Every structure is written in structure tokens, then in C-alpha cells.
Structure 1
Amino acid sequence: MLELLAPAGDMESLKAAVLNGADAVYLGGKEFSARQSAANFDRVELIEAVRFCHAYNVKVYVTINTLLKNTELKGALDYASFLYSIGVDAVIVQDLGFLHLLRRYLPNFEVHASTQMTAHNLDSVEMLYDLGVKRVVLSRELSLDEIKYISKNTRAELEMFVHGALCISFSGQCLMSSIIGGRSGNRGRCAQPCRLEYSLNNKRAYHLSPKDLSTLEFIDKIKELGVYSLKIEGRMKRPEYVATVVSAYRAAIDGKLEKSHIKDVTQIFNRGGFTSAFMFKRQGSEMMSYKKPRNWGTYLGRVTNVRGDFARVKLDAPLNDGDGVEVFDRGVGVVVANMKKDGKVVKSASQGQEVEFYLKGAKRGDILYKTSDAELIDRAKESFSRKDVERVPIDAYIKVKKNEDIVLRIRDIYGDEVEVKSEPPEVAINKPITLEKLKDSLSKTKDTPYLLTNLTADLDEDVIIPVSRINSIRREGIEKLLDKKQNKREEIKIHFNLEKKIKKDKMNLILITGRQDIVEGVYDYFDEVYFGGDNLRINNGDIESLINKGINVNLWIPEIVLEEEKKIKEEILSLKDNGVKSALCGNLGMYKYLIEKGFDVKLDKGFNIFNSVSTEVLNNAGSLISYELNLKEIKDLVECTNADTMLFIYGRIKMMVSRQCFIGSSKDEGREECGLVCQNKIHYLKDRMNEEFLIVPDRYCRNHIYNSKILCMLEDIREIYKTGAKYLVVHFLDEKVDEARKISRAFREAVDMLNNNEFIQTENIKEVLDMLKGKITKGHYYRGVL
């Protein structure tokens, strides 16, 4: 069965999802959830949520899908143990170390890999399965063909997004909110800078704001993919949204989709229409909501005249009292009341009619959109809040015999059955209990998810039971059935702590770049060199040429590997034959392939190493620690692991990688045949503070956004040394060769001095600091993230 998975930001949204046809819901608790701005569920509410959902045979998945610091691991494990004990069906995770701990301490708890794990190729899905994940939530960037290929060849269950907001970056690889404002998307606090206005090629627009995804009209194609679960995004959305969207997708899956469903889903929330994202082809500008990043609603009509604060409007769609109306993108809006047609107050008006209503600030010619539909909202709310909402049918059997315990059996439509007993009835003196009286009392289930539809009784004619006892037996039976459905388990006490290790290695300097001219110019200053990366259009040369020149160089594989996968695998085999034994890898799937081929692998930023356990999950020769930890947290991480660790100490921090081409799309292009309008050069995205972020395209038309400032810890190298990290990473992106040489020489001097327990600011170090003055950031080394 194809599972329809719905979001629940609070209890009302959860009921909206269940009562409108969801097969499962995903939700977050107050702890460790990637949607910290949602209402979320406390522990008491979580128990209530599980009991309610399980009564309807709906599964509950709880998110612990944030990166976890050392200090948080024990609390997260205890929380997971609580979730396991109350019957939660699965937990959704992002953190690699936490996944490892779950498998160790809660081996029977089903684990799903969040889309934050950036699984987008077959090998990454298979790697996660090998690590103990049952289900993998795929990246939103995949085409239907790519999903189908993974589905046909994996052992894991697959889950894909079918509706809702899109992250323009590959999820799990976005640091934009974190770097700009200190609010980490990897920690559930994304400030959504992608929904802000930027200037690109002198064109100001919402260049990073995509439309929402909708797949309603091609669910039949999705059914053919072999995926297990279809996921609707929206834990931040109101319950009426959840009800509307879930009911539409339920109809689509069941083959009962009507035009009214599409109309309702469009009205409840859209950003200038919908997109199928990358499911069929690159959509370029058609994918983006350039004019407005929020809900557009649906086109209503134009203002034909203005009289004071009242606007006369020619309607292109029906309008009712209570509907929300807005002048497009001007912040002028109103909830319609006392609408007039031909001078008379009316409650509703039809398409083609002219009406007048209060709309202060409107101008003649303004385009109006209906941003909310009162009738739709009322209908959606009724589906989950009316008193006679759909409840689960139950059959009951009751035996009431003299000198025997009263027996009540309750069975729901899913086949679950419970039995309760009570002391024998009394002999009736004048008014014996009747079948009708029993049925009346046993039917009083309106405060539960159940509805009595059939009662069978084995009843002596001369017995009596007080109504209070019948009610008590009913309540006990319902409670016992709910308990059984909840699937409670024993809460496992977890004894976990991290121990400090005593070790101190000398620091080594690593170069990473995709430019052959840089390698040739600075090679002598580094202990190790890794070449390749994102195959950016500004890169030059190739690794084979460097090897042929006698330069000892290793392979650098980025976090995103899609179209180039076959080519990279061929390159790995060729390099192995040429004696290359090491690689720096950011992709989980390519890690799997490299290890199988006998390479020593260092883990790059794509693995989001946030705690000591994460450094030891995979067989590796070093782990690059997340850019989001501060010096104190890094020191704690390094001290509690036996694995080698790496720190990024120079270069532009990559804040985002997107399969969308912002450059081409901004020129109304960016599709498969775009004529390379990016012109093989760096473009700049300018924000409202006039900061310019580099957009660098790669040869597969993905765009990489880098910070406007350069991370440089040369001045603070002594603090870096105190962390105990073994490797320090320098990345050259757009530097001139002579600049790179000066920077490399300065870092070499600094590292060599510190390895000899000394340090002074040499003239070379001072020259570099002066050269970079005003361009430097210290990233999160001093501030960190919450």
C-alpha cells in the first residue's frame, strides 16, 4: 500500500490529517525538532497523539532531525527511549552519530533517514540501509527517472515529497541562514533568507524563492515508481491547510481526484502557482516565485473605481463575506465585510459582477487576489472539528449472566480486540436490564475515537446492572483497546557518556581546490593536497595532469553527486591504477564506493560532523568538523574521539548548493539548453545590506553560493591549535595565484611554529592579514549556533 504521510505541527493539525485520510503523520516534539517555530508536542501531548492516531491505524513518526552536540546526545537518547516506550512507530533522524547510538541502544526502534541526510543517489541510500535505516527520505531535487532507478535497486523503503514548500538548496547542505544570521537550518531554526529579495545581474527579485511543489495531477506516474511513502510538507501550516491538502491527495491516490480538489489546494496556499521542481526537467524561471515569496491566493479581479476608502471591483471569481482580499504585492488587504452590489448589501457575489467593499489604500487598476476563502476554511475546519467527526467503528459483545462475571469484548474494524470483566450482576426485583438499555450506555463513546455499530448480547432476563457500572465497563474496555493500539513498550534506561581521550598530534596543512594553477603554485606549502570538488566552471586542469607532473595529489569528491556519478566512479578506478590511495569525500554514496575500492577516505563537510560519535561511525582517515561549532565545542569534540579531526581555517564558506540555475533563470532561461548564459564566470547575489555572495556554476548547471566574506583563522591560529585537531584545511576558490601563494606561506609558517610550541606574527603573516583586511570573517568559531 502506498502511504500518504502528512505533517502535524499541533494536535489540531494532527486530527485534520488523520480525519482527512492520512496513513501516517510526522511531527516534532518540543525537543530536537527541525521545525522549532512550530507549536510541536510536549510529552503528554505526544502520548495523546499516538493513542489518537493508532486508534485509526495511522502511524506516528517523530522527528529528531537536527544535528546534535556532544552535550545533547544523552538527552536525545533518553527522549528517543521515551518515544519508543509510548509506541511511536519510527523516529526520523539527521545526525550520523545519533543514528549510530540509536542502533546500539534502541535496536528495535525503526529509524528513517531525514531528507537532511541529503540522500540523492543509490549508493547513499544503500549506505544508510547498511547503517540500520529502514526508510530513506530522498532529496527533493530528484527526477522521477532517478527515483525509479533508486527504487528498483535498493533494499530500503523510499519516501518522497509530493507537495509543499521547497528548499532551494539541497537539504542538509544549507548554511545560509546560519552564516548570515546565526540561525541554523541544521538545528531547526532556519530564518529562510531564501525568501528575501536579492539583486542578480542588476535585476532585483526573489531569486532564491521557489514556488511550492504539487504533484496532484501526476500521482499515477508516481505510483509506478515503487516508492513506499508520499510526503506532504507543512508542519508550520494551519490545520485547515493540512485538511485541504491531505484530502486532495487521498482522493488522487484513490483515483477520485476532481477539479475541485485542485482548486481548493491552489486557494489554500500557493506562491504564484505550483511547480513539479525537477521531477520531469529543469523548469528554470517557471519554478520560481520572483515577484512575491508568500501566499498569492487566486486571481480575483481589478479595481475599476475608488471612492474614499471603498473600492469598486469587477470580479473574475466568486467572492463572499469573510474572504481575504489583497492588492497584489502592496501590503494592502482586508477581510471582506458589508459588500455591496447595486447599492445593496450582499453576502456573496458571482464572477462577472461588480461589487464595492472597504479596501483602504486601493487604487484604480489594482490587481486583486483572494488570499483566503471563508467557505473553504469553514469546510476544512468542519472535517476535523465537528462533533460527529468520522470515528472508528467497533463491535461489542456483552455477556450478563447470573452468578457469572460480566464480560465485555470490543473489536475494532482493524481486528484488534480486548476483553474486560466485572463482578456478576444482581438479580432484578422489578426492572431488569434490557438490551436497549445496554446499547444506550455502551454507545456513549463520543469522547473517544470510537463508534459502536453492532452489539451482541448474551443476557439473562432477570438481572440488573446499575448504569454507572455499565459506563465504567465501557470506559475500561475503550481504554484497554486504546492501550493495546498504542503499543506501549518498556522504556529502556540508557547509560551513555563520552570519555575524554589523551592524545596530541602535530597539525598538518591540507589544500583543497579545483584549480591546477593553484596547486602548481602552492603545492610545496602543504602536507596533503586534494583536487577536484564541485567541477566548477571557473576551475581548470585535471588531476591526471598533476599526477603526470609528479605532484602527489588526492581526489576530492563533493557532497552532491548526480549526473557525474558514473564519470567519478571511472575516475576512481583510473586513479587507483595510478597509485592514488586517498580521497576527501562529502557524499555518503561515493564514500561507500571508495571504501569498497580500498581508498583511505577523509570525510568532508557534507557529512555534517557535529559530535564525537559521528567521527567514529564510518571507517575514515579524518573528519571535517561542522562549520557551525564554536572553539569550545570543537575542543570538547576532539577530546572525546579517537578519530582524526579536521578544521576549515581558510576560504569562502559554501552556504548553499542548488540544482537550480539562478543565473540562467534570472534571464528567463536556465533549462537544459540554456546556451551557458553563466559565461563560465562568477556572478554575485547582492542582499539588502549590499553584501555580495558569489554564485559559482558547475558544469552540471548547479549553482553554488559562497559567503561574501572569507573565513580566515590565521590571526587566531593559536586558538585553533588548542582544539587538538590534526588537520587544518585551506580552500582556494577565486584567489589569484600570487595571493594564494602568500596565504599558503603564511599558514605554513604559523603551523610549523605552533608544532614547535612557539608563535610570533611574522612579516608574511602580517602581510596576509593586511591584504585581507575588511574581507575576513571568523565564521562560527566564536559565536557558534544555538
Structure 2
Amino acid sequence: MVRQTGPEILAPAGSMEALYAALHAGADAVYFGGKILSARAYAGNFEKEEIIEAVALLHRHKAKAHLTLNTLVKNPELRLLEEIGNTLCEAHIDAVIIQDMGIYLFFKRYFPELALHASTQMTVHSVAGAARLYELGFQRVVLSRELTLKEVRQIMEAVPVEVETFVHGAMCYCYSGQCQMSAAYGERSANRGKCAQPCRLPYQTDKTGGYLLSLKDQMTLFDLPELIAVGIDSFKIEGRMKNPEYVYTVTQMYRKYRDLALAGGSYQVDTADVARMSEVFSRGATSAGYYFMRKSADMIFPEQPKTAKLTNAKTLAELAFVRQKPEQKAEVDFYVQAKQGQPLTLTVVFSGGLSALTPICQRGEPVQPAQKKATTAAEIEKPLRQLGDTLLILNKLELEMDEQVFVPVSQLKELRRQATAAVEAVLCSDWEKGETEEERKARVPIRPLQSIVWPEPYRRTETAGPQVSVLVRTEEQLKNAFASEADRIYLEWSFLSIETMLSYIKVMTATPKQIFLAAPAILRGEELQRFDREYERLRGAGRENGREIGLLLRTADHLAFFRAKGVALALDHSFHIWNQLAYQFYQTEAEPVSICLSNEISYQARSQLGRFEMVIYGKLATMQTANCLANAGGRGKDRSTNPLCRTGATETLNYITDRKGAVLGYHRNCKTCSNTLFNPVPLFLADQPVGYAECLRLELLDETTEELEHLMRLIRQLKQGKRTALPGLSEFTRGHYSKGVE
């Protein structure tokens, strides 16, 4: 179907049957993944031949095909990208959705014709982030689900990039791309499409309990006119793990109400349609997500979500057709000439809604006189009418023929085959841009293996005496870190007040330590401006003492904003640098003084990418969320009415307990109106081989005074190249030091 002016309806497909369902429902575009490097590893997904078949089918139905390659790539997996790129070019894919900037760099170098979409896993949440991706050549950005409609509008007004947002389906508690909770619980990383969904489990605070991290599913049918008015380019439906009946029903409803809203006049959602969607899949309750509120306790399930899937036999029978391959037939008329001595001719004239298309004429061998039995009109018509599983519906056949001629059946079948192929090519011509097969192959060559220049293996060497950095979150930690032998101190802006930080910067004339202000992972709107203002105050105080204050950045959005300042930049592990190409990209993009590589890849894997910093101690952040656990009990619907909300920094933590009794700290980032969750036990690697790292980091959180003293002494031993245990540390994790995530 050709959509009206307005946002496309983008449907999910985890299998070929789900893709069929999306087409039956009238999807304008479908997104699906391959068997490898897909962020829904447990969906059925598509083999190479299925990708080519799926794209051809979608194009035949005037729908676009988006391939999801939105996962992180390990260094040895980079060589898979060549075959993937060739497959996608051969299939003539419309867009590739990616997260890893290593994939970006590879495709821009070797497959520049591929249109790239920035996945929601890239956590794009600001004008600066969207603008930089547009400059880099991304055609579209999928914005973070947490943005309000006002923020979406601001990005669209400032940046001419296409914008895609989610309108329906499951919602993560964490900002997409910022969750390491699943990996912390085991080896299943959300960044590899293998999320174990710990957010769907029960937790307890000191005030309330329940499924505090489990968000209601998103449903925006009632709000489509407002979303359309903003000008969003694509409405995305979540659900590559869902069955075809879900895909069909939800896509059909959004197509129906998108068209109704565009038609103008009265807009009203039929409650029967909402009930129909709930019948195919429901967790018991829905919300519109974050479009109209920054956060709300109403978005959280107070009790265990009651997941219901379609079981009604009658409804299943009614929807059985959605799993069948859809057919798009072209009504045609055949005009046949069989004149002796002239080429056998078949002219195909389009009728119905395609009557404006130019007729197609196919010619065969010259017609011969009959030597024995002449061919009858019925014998000519019979093979031409055998259209079987083709796109043609034959309305009429007119035959003009001489008597006493002979036409072989094989020639009639070949003429029919040629005509059928020509019709199919015309039906896909809008998507093939009028190219012949030879032109397409010339434009999209299959590249020879030797054309790819792979990065040289990094020559790693062990460091005898590494640098040591400390990330501090309280004034007591800051005081101890200044008195220690640490080379670098990271000041956690969301915990520390500007006054506390200034008081130490102003008296640091004698210390050679490098000082960096650590930005939170998420800074939206005025928050980013406030952070920048306070950074400039610290920077000014540092300059008065002859020192430059650097920045520790945690997302690419902030790199896009701060890269022009010309200050020392350090990139944190939340940049998810997993391979040499991503490492190369960020070395060029940021020229950082330090890159802390991902905690989800092994130590040996990190050592093969380049010079790096690594965390060897700390309760690591596992989630960045726009919601607030202090608000989970519903004591305040939003920031203005919640008595627990603050506007300044707070160094204190609150805690939740999981079903096994583990105590997780969470911090109310009141400067940014968000929460950060932390692992219940610290990572500890100081007694392991870590010599390839040029800088070893300690991340402090809620240590006692005694524990701080032990850690400060540990710094001296680390600088001497010693491996050592930590007194009193009985419970800890090695993280992914040895194996890395799956």
C-alpha cells in the first residue's frame, strides 16, 4: 500500500510469518534482524536468503525494509561485516539500523550506499547528539523513548534529520543503550540482544515493594493526532519477539488510526479496537509512555504484570490468514498475435488501478507453418492462462492468429515467463528506481575480499607502573582522594555540589593530579546548560590556579556538545567500545586523553584494541532511568508534587532489595531528575593481571571510613605494579574480566 502523507507505520518482524502479517496489516515499512548481530537474539530472525526474499516481497508491496544490526560487535566479528554488507546491497535494503560506531565506520568506508539509521541503543536524547549524527551521514535517528513530545519537537526543529519514535509495545525501565544490569546478573548482555529482564522481577524499598522496575507497555492510539502534528517521520511498533497475530493486529490499528487522524474531522478510538489489541497481547495495563510526562508512578506496575497472550480459538482461526504469504496481483489483459512468418507476440496491458502503466510487449521466434497438425486457439490459450503463483490476474485474452500454423508449447511457456517477469519488474520499479538488472549490479558491486583493509593487530605491552584514577561521589571520598597518590580524580557532578567541588579546586595548587568533572549519562535540555555553566565555573577556578579541568563523558550526545571546547576529554565505559574500528572512530572524533573500555568485554579483548583505562574496583552503575524509585509508591505523581524531590546535589544513596536479598544502591540524581542503580557488590580485580591497562580506576560509592583507608593504601600498591587483595573485602565479583559477555 502507498501511505498518505504523514508518519510511516513501522512494524516489527521476528520471523517471515510476522513479516507476512505486517504486510497484511498495511505496514509502510518493516524492521527485522539477521541471524547474527541483532539486538533481539532470541527472535527467529532471518538467514541470508530470507533477507533477500523479505526485501523483494516488501518492495513488491511498496513497503520499505529496515535491517536491524543494532548490537555491539566484538573485534573478531568485524570480518562478518563484509558478507553482511554485500548481502544488504544485493537485497537492496532501504536502511540499516545500527548502534556500534565500528559498524558505522566500516559501512561508510566500504558500503557508502547503505542508508544508516541510528538505533535507540545510541541513547540520542539531545539536539547536539542528533545534529552530530546527521553530520556523520545518518539518515534517521531513533530517539530515546524517555523524551517528551516537546523535546522531540525541539530536536526536529533544530536538525533536518529524519526522526523515528516508539508508539507501542514493551518499555525498558532503563534508557536503551545504558543498561548493564542483565550483564551484571550473568553473561547475558542487553547490548547483545540477550537481556535477562531483571527489571521484570520484584524489589523492595524501605517504604514499598513490588515490581518497581517494571514499566507498563506503551499504547498511544488516543494520542496519534498530537504525535502527527509534531511531524514525526516514523511511528515504530515494538515487538520482534511477538507472534504474527500481535504484529498484524497492532499494525492494523495504528495504520487505521493514523489514516483517520490524517483525514481530519472527528477522531475517536473505538474501545473494541483497544480490546482487540489487548486480546492478542497484554501485560494488564498501558500508558502513553513519556510523551506527556517526565516521569510518573502511574507508569509502573504495582503488582506482578499479568501477561496474557492470544488463546481464543475463534480469534486464532479468524487470524490464521496473517501467517500466509500475501499476494499483490496485477489485473492484466493479454493480446496475442500468431502470424505466419512474424514473431510470436504477447502484449500485456494493465487494467484496474494500474491502467496508467505502459503496456509490455514480449516477442518470441517467428511463427512457422504447420507441417502436420496445426495449433488451435485453445492450445495457444491454455499455457498462457496457467499463471499459477505469479502476480498476474488475467481478465481477458484476445488472440489474432493465422490458420495452419504451428506454435510449440515450450515457446508459449517461455513467452509467458518473460511477460510475468517483466510485470513483476514494473511493479517493483518504484523501489528499484527504474534500474535494469545490469545497472543495479554495476552500482552495487560485490566487493572482492582484498578490497577491505582490516585494522592491524594492536601491539600490546605491559605497564610496569600504571596510572591510577579515582571516581569520587562524596566529600569524604574527595578529601581522601586528594590526599592519596592517585594521578587522576573524577568528580561525580550529579552527587557533589558545585560549592564542595569549588572549595577543593581553589586550594589544589600544590597537587599534580589531573581533575575531571564527570558528566552523568543523561543531560536533557536545561540540565545540559546547567552542567555546562557549573563546569565553566570549575574550569575558571582551576585556571586561576594554573590548572585545566577536563571532562569525563558518558554518551556520544555529550561528546557532540563538548568536543569543540578544546579541553581534555576522557570517554567512559558507557561508550561501549568493543572493537578496533569503534576505537579508531572515537580516537578521531574526540582525541581523548583516556578511553575506559566496556566492562562487558574481557580483559584480553580490551588489551587488543588500544591503550585503555579499566575499572578494577567499584559497585558499577547498572541502570540510568528517567523514572524515580523515590516516587514508586505514588506519593507524588510528578516532580512538582513529590515531597522527596530536590533540586540540588545529594551524596546519599537509597537502597532496594531484590528477591534473593541482595541490596542495590540507587541514587536520586535530582540535578537531572533521574535515577542511577548500582550493582550490590563491588568489582575487584586488583589481585588479577591488569598490566596491559595504562590506567586503573577505583569507583567509590558508599564505602565506610575504614574501607576508604584500605582503598587509599591500595592506590600506592597499584602504582608500584603490585597485585594485592583488599583487607575486609569478603564479597565481590570479577565481572567479565575472564570471559566477557556472550
TM-score bucket of the superposed structures, by smaller chain: 0.7 to 0.9
Give the AA of the match of 1:447. Answer: D
How many Å apart are 1:238 and its aligned residue? 0.6
Note if 1:562 corresponds to 2:533.
no
Corresponding position of 2:238: 233
In 2, the alpha carbon distance for the partners of 1:138 and 1:451 equals: 42
- The CA deviation at 1:179 is 0.9
* Counterpart in the other structure of 1:452: 393
User: Using a 3 Å threshold, how does the CA distance of structure 1 residues 380 and 415 change in structure 2: closer, same or farther?
Assistant: farther
- For residue 393 of structure 1, what is the aligned residue in structure 2? 330
1:479 CA drift (Å): 3.8
**Aligned counterparts, 1:258-337, within 5 A:** 258-282=270-294, 284-296=296-308
Give the AA of the match of 2:524.
L
Q: CA deviation at 1:90?
A: 1.5
Q: C-alpha distance in 2, partners of 1:427/1:153?
A: 73
For 2:13, the equivalent position in structure 1 comes to 8
Residue 591 of structure 2, aligned match among 592, 612, 620? 620
> 1:242: Cα distance to partner?
0.5
Shift of 1:224: 1.4
Shift of 1:113: 1.1
Q: Aligned AA for 2:416?
A: R
Counterpart residue number, 2:454? 497
- Alignment partner, residue 688 of structure 1: 659
Shift of 1:190: 0.9
- The structure with the greater share of residues assigned to strand is 1
Measure the CA separation in 1 of the matches of 2:256 and 2:559: 41
CA deviations on 1:447-474 (whole Å, 9 max, x unpaired) are: 24x2436668684455665566444433
Conservation of the 8 A alpha-carbon contact between 1:159 and 1:231: yes
Corresponding residue of 2:415: 473
Shift of 1:25: 0.6
Matched residue, 1:548: 506
User: 5 Å matches for 1:277-676?
Assistant: 277-282=289-294, 284-296=296-308, 372-383=311-322, 385=324, 391-395=328-332, 398=335, 400-402=337-339, 403-408=342-347, 413=354, 420-426=362-368, 432-433=376-377, 438=381, 444-445=386-387, 447-448=389-390, 450-452=391-393, 459-460=400-401, 462=403, 465=407, 469-479=411-421, 482=424, 485=428, 487=432, 489-494=444-449, 495-502=452-459, 504=461, 507-523=466-482, 524-533=484-493, 535-536=494-495, 541-550=499-508, 553-563=515-525, 564-578=527-541, 579=543, 580=548, 582-617=550-585, 618-621=589-592, 622-638=594-610, 644-676=611-643
CA contact (8 A) 1:396 1:410 kept: yes
SS at match of 2:574: helix
Partner residue in 2 for 1:701: 673
The aligned counterpart of 1:328 is none
CA–CA separation in structure 2 for the residues paired with 1:546 and 1:143? 37
With over 3 angstroms needed to count, the CA separation of the structure-2 counterparts of 1:274 and 1:745, relative to structure 1, is same
Q: Which moved more, 1:586-595 or 1:662-671?
A: 662-671
Q: Is the contact between residue 396 and residue 454 of structure 1 (CA under 8 Å) also seen in structure 2?
A: yes
Residue 197 (1) aligns with residue 202 (2):
yes
Unaligned runs of 5+ in 1: 298-370, 639-643
| Structure 2 residue corresponding to 1:33, chosen from 8, 33, 38 | 38
1:45-84 superposed matches below 5 A: 45-84=50-89
Q: 1:780 aligns with which of 715, 736, 741?
A: 736
| Partners of 2:580 and 2:191 in 1: CA distance | 17
Moved more, 453-462 or 241-250: 453-462
- Counterparts of 2:618 and 2:247 in 1: how far apart (Å)? 43
Pair 1:670–1:106, CA change in 2 (3 A): same
One-letter code aligned to 1:665: A
Give the whole-Å Cα distance in 2 for the aligned partners of 1:585 and 1:455.
Answer: 69
Q: How far off is 1:592 after superposition?
A: 1.5
Q: Distance in 1 between matches of 2:152 and 2:51?
A: 33
Give the match's secondary structure for 1:254. Answer: helix
Q: Displacement of 1:202 after TM fit?
A: 5.8
State the AA in 2 paired with 1:510: S
Match of 1:771 in 2: 728
| Deviation by residue 1:485-520 (Cα, 9 ceiling, x = unmatched) | 385643223524331244646521122233343222
Greater CA drift, 29-38 or 125-134: 125-134
Letter in 2 for 1:690: G
- SS of structure 2 residue aligned to 1:637: coil
- Secondary structure of the residue that 1:39 maps to in structure 2? coil
Structure-2 separation of matches of 1:574 and 1:420: 77
Quote the residue 1:745 is aligned against: 713
Post-superposition offset of 1:69: 0.8
Q: Which runs of 5+ in 2 are unaligned?
A: 262-268, 433-439
Instruction: Quote the offset at 1:668 in angstroms.
Output: 4.9
Residues 420 and 108 (structure 1), Cα distance of their counterparts in 2 relative to 1, 3 Å cut:
farther
Which one-letter code corresponds to 2:622 in the other structure?
A: M
Deviation at 1:588, TM superposition (A): 1.4
1:529 CA drift (Å): 1.8
SS in 2 for 1:161: strand
Structure 1 residues 63-98: Cα deviation after superposition (integer angstroms, max 9, x where no partner): 111111110001133222222222221111111111
Give a deviation string over 1:514-547, Cα, whole Å, max 9, x none: 33432222124221222234x14x8785433332
CA shift digits 1:332-374 (9 cap, x unpaired): xxxxxxxxxxxxxxxxxxxxxxxxxxxxxxxxxxxxxxx6433
**TM-score w.r.t. length of structure 2:** 0.86
How far has the Cα of 1:599 moved from its partner?
Answer: 2.0
Which deviates more from structure 2 when the two are superposed, residues 540-549 or residues 263-272?
540-549
Instruction: State the alpha-carbon separation in 2 of the partners of residues 416 and 57 from structure 1.
Output: 19
Shift of 1:249: 0.5
Deviations 1:276-317 (A, max 9, x none): 1111014523212232334247xxxxxxxxxxxxxxxxxxxx
Match in the other structure for 2:169: 164
Partner SS, residue 553 of structure 1: strand
CA RMSD of aligned residues (A): 2.9
**TM-score, normalisation: structure 1:** 0.81
Greater CA drift, 397-406 or 286-295: 397-406
Matched, 1:130 2:92: no
Q: Determine if contact 1:284/1:668 at 8 Å carries over to the other structure.
A: no
Mapped partners of 1:181, 1:100: distance in 2: 30
Q: Deviations over 1:545-573 (max 9, x none)?
A: 33222366222112211141121233344
Which range moved further: 126-135 or 210-219?
126-135
CA distance in 1, matches of 2:31, 2:316: 23
Q: Which amino acid aligns with 2:328?
A: R
Segment drifting more, 106-115 vs 417-426: 417-426
Q: Relative to structure 1, is the Cα distance of residues 490 and 522 closer, same or farther in structure 2, using a 3 angstrom cutoff?
A: same
Contact 1:583 1:601 in 2 (8 A): yes
Pick closer, same or farther for the CA change 1:452–1:661 going to 2, 3 Å. same
Q: CA offset at residue 432 of structure 1?
A: 4.3
Q: Answer yes or no: is the 8 Å Cα contact 2:481–2:489 preserved in 1.
A: no
Moved more, 60-69 or 675-684: 675-684
